[in-house]
Amino acid sequence: MSDETARHNCTDCPIRHLTDWQNLPKKLLKKMDRYALRRQYELGDKLYHQGDKCHGLFCIRSGFVGLRRYDVSGRSSLIKLAGPGDTLGYRALLGHSTHSNSAEILKASEVCYIDRAIISEILQNHPSVGERFLQRCLTDLERMEAAYLRAKNLTTREQLLHFLMILHEQFGQLDENGCHYIVLPIARKDIAELIGSTPESVSRTIKKLETEHLVQFEGRLASFENLGAIIDQIGMIH
Amino acid sequence: MSDETARHNCTDCPIRHLTDWQNLPKKLLKKMDRYALRRQYELGDKLYHQGDKCHGLFCIRSGFVGLRRYDVSGRSSLIKLAGPGDTLGYRALLGHSTHSNSAEILKASEVCYIDRAIISEILQNHPSVGERFLQRCLTDLERMEAAYLRAKNLTTREQLLHFLMILHEQFGQLDENGCHYIVLPIARKDIAELIGSTPESVSRTIKKLETEHLVQFEGRLASFENLGAIIDQIGMIH
DNA sequence: CGTCTGGTTGATCTAGATCAACAGGAGTGG
DNA sequence: CCACTCCTGTTGATCTAGATCAACCAGACG
């Protein structure tokens, strides 16, 4: 974790439109500006640990963070991948509980920290923010259920393709030849943990996808031209 | 579904202390009394279907209801088992969305229905009820994540034992010989769907547990004396 | 008495976990 | 610049939990 912690100007944040604060009135934004702290994190850093008390919220400006959860026997799973615009820690904050999972940096990231005191104040004076978090919680639950179903019903192959499609929707690019491509933001082993598999199986599945000319991989670059063929293979559920 | 629909008196409901309405002031309870409708449902009945618009909440007075979810290819999974005191449908209601899963009666049940209009009114005048549902949503999310982890990491055997322990905590009884017992509220195939397995595998696993003298089964009666031995086998995570 | 549903058993098959080895960078330090 | 280690990813060989398919049994119910 680098030492440079800087004030962050939320009002002019270029990705504010992606965040939970997009509709916050100017007045409150100004207030946040006085407290938000930005910091650069490197791969492997933790924003917080499972079991920690919650001191505030983290808002991801760039990079990727994984929510990882350990069970009693020490096995861990990536529960969720969070990217630019996502706010982390709201559950422990609103639920007055400790963090139920760890937030680990999967790719160098810029993250802003907002202390719980200021959040509480905002929540009091501006109930629509609370409403917003309620909606967040409802959709997170919805998504979690979907992920649960996928884990139970889909093959590794389908899970991997689904993961690629999710990335594609968010970050898909088109190159000059009309070929879709994605730069995978995380390592193979993290992909494996995310889709509930192992690095070995992911590797093999990737190979198979290549021999079938469905997707090409080159390190962290994944490319494909026939989007439809992929969609066909997975019952595209979100 | 039986035809007799009756008014329900929430104020004097014997299980109100288990519900989300336990702390509701008298005044609001009186109001609910005028609208709550009680009805008897039989095995296989549906309270609502996945995709339905949400017209109100359902409060389970007795019996068991399963939240079942179908994916695009028609496979279904039991997402959650709901029992006396549980309120169903709050997610679609608060999220202004359609029901994301079906509520199916797994065991003859008495269920009360409260129209969304009256709920909305209560939510407006009594923000603590909204807060209560937010907390419900947070714990549901928490539980769902735990279930996701279990689905990925535990064997069928461990899942089954875990399921028994959950039932034990809620409904466990002790007979005259100091033997714990539970009456399984649902059918084998529903257990299978709940723990992400098949009826055949559940059956075999049950058999194995019996030969190891860990748990005895007789139809829907499960009994065991050595609780500790069971706890030992599963890293008891909730 | 047939029919149906829920549960149990048996035989088989396969996806994917596990264990083990190895290859290519990327640093690091002499 | 080479030697060393560390780390990620790939491949190979093996093994097993559990799904699947099929038959069958017992009780319920018309």
Residue type, A106: L
DSSP state of B22: T
Q: Which residues from chain B sit within 8 angstroms of residue A152, using beta carbons?
A: 77, 151, 196
Q: What's the rounded Cα separation, in Å, for the pair B137 and B106?
A: 23
Contacts of A46 (CB under 8 A, 6+ apart): A102, A103, A104, A105
Q: Which nucleotide is nearest to B154 (CA to C1')?
A: D17
pLDDT computed for residue A3 by the predictor: 53
Tokens 């030849």 sit on residue: A177
pLDDT computed for residue A238 by the predictor: 42
Q: Which of B140, B151, B152 comes nearest A141 by C-beta?
A: B140
Going by C-alpha positions, the residue among B142, B122, B138 that lies closest to residue B130 is: B122
Q: What's the rounded Cα separation, in Å, for the pair A29 and A24?
A: 6
Contacts of A1 (CB under 8 A, 6+ apart): A39, A40, A41, A42, A45
**Predicted confidence (pLDDT) per residue in B114-164, tens digit:** 999 999 998 888 888 889 999 999 999 999 999 999 999 999 999 999 999
The angle that helices B156-171 and B188-195 make with each other, rounded to 10 degrees, is 110
Q: Which residues from chain B sit within 8 angstroms of residue A135, using beta carbons?
A: 95
Query: For strand D, is any atom closer than 7 Å to the CB of B156?
Result: yes
Cα–Cα distances (Å) from A204 to A126, A233, B33, in that order, read 51, 18, 61
pTM of the complete model beyond 0.85 = yes
For chain A, first and last CA: distance in Å? 34
Contacts of A50 (CB under 8 A, 6+ apart): A68, A69, A70, A98, A99, A100, A101, A102
Q: What's the rounded Cα separation, in Å, for the pair A107 and A81?
A: 11
Q: Which of B148, B196, B235 comes nearest A72 by C-beta?
A: B235
Query: For strand C, is any atom closer than 7 Å to the CB of B210?
Result: no
pLDDT computed for residue B88 by the predictor: 97
Q: What's the rounded Cα separation, in Å, for the pair B182 and B165?
A: 10
**Do B75 and A144 lie within an 8 Å CB cutoff?**
no
> Can you read off the two tokens belonging to residue A193?
């943990």
Low-confidence ranges of chain A (pLDDT < 70): 1-4, 235-238
> Can you read off the two tokens belonging to residue A172?
């898909």
Task: Identify which has the larger pLDDT, A23 or B186.
Answer: B186
Q: What's the rounded Cα separation, in Å, for the pair A76 and A90?
A: 21
Q: What's the rounded Cα separation, in Å, for the pair B181 and B225?
A: 8
Query: For strand D, is any atom closer than 7 Å to the CB of A208?
Result: no
DSSP of A202-231, one letter per residue?
HHHHHHHHHHTTS-EEETTEEEES-HHHHH
pLDDT computed for residue A5 by the predictor: 74
pLDDT computed for residue B237 by the predictor: 46
**Do A152 and B196 lie within an 8 Å CB cutoff?**
yes
Query: For strand D, is any atom closer than 7 Å to the CB of B61?
Result: no
Q: Which of B72, B79, B153 comes nearest A237 by C-beta?
A: B72
Rounded to 5°, the CA angle A72-A74-A80 comes to: 95
**Predicted confidence (pLDDT) per residue in A197-213, tens digit:** 999 999 999 999 999 99
DSSP state of A196: T
Cβ < 7 Å from strand C, B residues 174-193: 187-189
Q: Which residues from chain B sit within 8 angstroms of residue A100, using beta carbons?
A: 142, 145
Q: What's the rounded Cα separation, in Å, for the pair B220 and B152?
A: 27
The residue of chain B nearest to residue A98, with distances taken between CA atoms, is B142
Q: What's the rounded Cα separation, in Å, for the pair B201 and B155?
A: 11
Q: Across chain A, what does the average pLDDT equal?
A: 90
Q: pLDDT grade, residue B73 (50/70/90)?
A: confident
**Predicted confidence (pLDDT) per residue in B198-229, tens digit:** 999 999 999 999 999 999 999 999 999 999 99
Query: For strand D, is any atom closer than 7 Å to the CB of A187?
Result: yes
Average of per-residue pLDDT across B3-12: 76
Tokens 């009693």 sit on residue: A72
**Cα torsion at A171, A175, A180, A183 (round to 10°)?**
-50
DSSP 3-state percent helix, strand, coil across chain B (nearest 5): 40, 25, 35
Residue B76 main-chain phi, psi, to 5 deg: -120, 155
